[in-house]
Structure 1
């Protein structure tokens, strides 16, 4: 199926690894020109080289989005190859701090990294999309935005902010041809999550093979209806849909890709 992204240009923040890398690779495979962003030039360049080797088109954008100067630099690099039609705000950080450990300073830093960084790019790129009458803005959120855990409260709150701002932006962009949506992953089997599961498996007696560990973790630790955790490519596929013309009637929405971890009737 042709998702009609050929000729569109997409900036995916935090795309030198994990969900961002998978998203950049899939957008490129579907014909988009992709801007791969990160702070580590070697890692970013490796992803760009891999996309180009596979026949895709990709450019590098290096910069720290927690400062205005850094955001300006990233935008300048992204626009050097042409107008940006698709913005995927994926960059962010998380940890497993408790309420007692998450000081006000940690809250402030996490909000700056996970929320304000995306706002900087929205304010720099969305007016240009509006002028052209076409654009896609996609936040990577998560189920913890609406069903938070006791731990990492500061991280949970930033996800809620991402969800909230996406809806506000959709209202702001009504009738403009630019949409704003959220993809909300469940637990996704990135390298970091795999390492964590292996580390905690002995204490929970989840077994020896990774297949056993994942099955038990998806039943006992973060239960879902599928019985496994998601793969980065499954999140990327949701982003590709929302970025495509086929999602022109979707705005202000949250697309949950979580195996049924978050249950609702609406």
Structure 2
């Protein structure tokens, strides 16, 4: 299968690092014009330079905007009014005990992880429908199904994404616009690397080894018994964004290494 997204414009939110960056790179390799987003212009510029070096001739654009705010979402929409593909990837996580999470932190997680995707999907989906083709993808998590005891506030936002994506998919029925969720499991992104850095320093293990130890200790139902790479997650997202995925919509597609113990 050769995925060709030439002529399509794709926005990937939160794409300066991690899974988002890998998705942006994958879409650029498939020929899409890719819009890189992050909160700070220097990070956006660096991500564009890195992808341009990896994919000579790639068509890239950058928009620095904080999508945890309505103003930031409006700025992105003004800069890129009519994309064909929207990947709602931007998100935050932080292990914290339920009894120590204040109201404002619940609100912050909801604004960044959920409302960013709601605002952008609301702004773009109807235009996609008018043009007869579009792809919207929410990057959720296996934590949407296996709510992590150490991050209840995070799990709640990831479950909310599944609800929004499924409902919006039904709302867009028959339009040529598909809406799906992708659920990564533990993944060796920069955020996870930061979380594991003390373990790496203490044990002398590689990041991959520390990731595998974390998975075995905290996600023992994992079948692959390791953390995924960002590229492995990106591969699924690029497919879902493709023309070839036209019969896949309203789905929650797992790239969780088998962590979710269900058929």
Note the alpha carbon deviations across 1:150-182, whole angstroms, 9 max, x for none: 222111100000011000001000001000000
> Which shows bigger deviation, 234-243 or 63-72?
63-72
Match for residue 235 of structure 1?
Answer: 233
Gap change, CA 1:116 and 1:195, over 3 Å in 2: closer
Cα deviation, residue 95, structure 1: 0.7
Determine if the alignment matches structure 1 residue 259 to structure 2 residue 257.
yes
Gap change, CA 1:260 and 1:99, over 3 Å in 2: same
Gap change, CA 1:47 and 1:171, over 3 Å in 2: same
Gap change, CA 1:168 and 1:68, over 3 Å in 2: same
Match for residue 246 of structure 1?
Answer: 244
* 2-structure distance, mates of 1:199, 1:222: 19
Cα deviation, residue 209, structure 1: 2.4
* 1-structure distance, mates of 2:49, 2:210: 34
> Which shows bigger deviation, 64-73 or 178-187?
64-73
1:45-60 matches, cutoff 5 A: 45-53=45-53, 54-55=55-56, 56-60=58-62
Determine if the alignment matches structure 1 residue 208 to structure 2 residue 207.
no
Cα deviation, residue 202, structure 1: 8.0
1:98-247 matches, cutoff 5 A: 98-200=97-199, 207-210=203-206, 211-223=208-220, 224-247=222-245
Cα deviation, residue 228, structure 1: 1.3
> Which shows bigger deviation, 218-227 or 256-265?
218-227
> Which shows bigger deviation, 44-53 or 110-119?
44-53
Give the alignment's TM-score, normalised by structure 1: 0.92
Match for residue 77 of structure 1?
Answer: 79
* 1-structure distance, mates of 2:149, 2:215: 19
* 2-structure distance, mates of 1:182, 1:92: 14
- Report the number of matched residues: 259
* 1-structure distance, mates of 2:210, 2:73: 40
SS in 2 for 1:100: helix
> Which shows bigger deviation, 70-79 or 183-192?
70-79
> Which shows bigger deviation, 172-181 or 214-223?
214-223
* 1-structure distance, mates of 2:215, 2:100: 27
Gap change, CA 1:36 and 1:202, over 3 Å in 2: closer
Contact 2:68 2:108 in 1 (8 A): no
Cα deviation, residue 106, structure 1: 1.3
Gaps of 5+ in 2: none
* 1-structure distance, mates of 2:236, 2:93: 22
Gaps of 5+ in 1: none
Cα deviation, residue 201, structure 1: 6.0
Aligned-CA RMSD value: 1.6
Give the alignment's TM-score, normalised by structure 2: 0.93
Contact 1:102 1:152 in 2 (8 A): no
Note the alpha carbon deviations across 1:221-258, whole angstroms, 9 max, x for none: 32211121001111111110000011100001011001
Determine if the alignment matches structure 1 residue 64 to structure 2 residue 66.
yes
Match for residue 5 of structure 1?
Answer: 5
* 2-structure distance, mates of 1:112, 1:149: 20
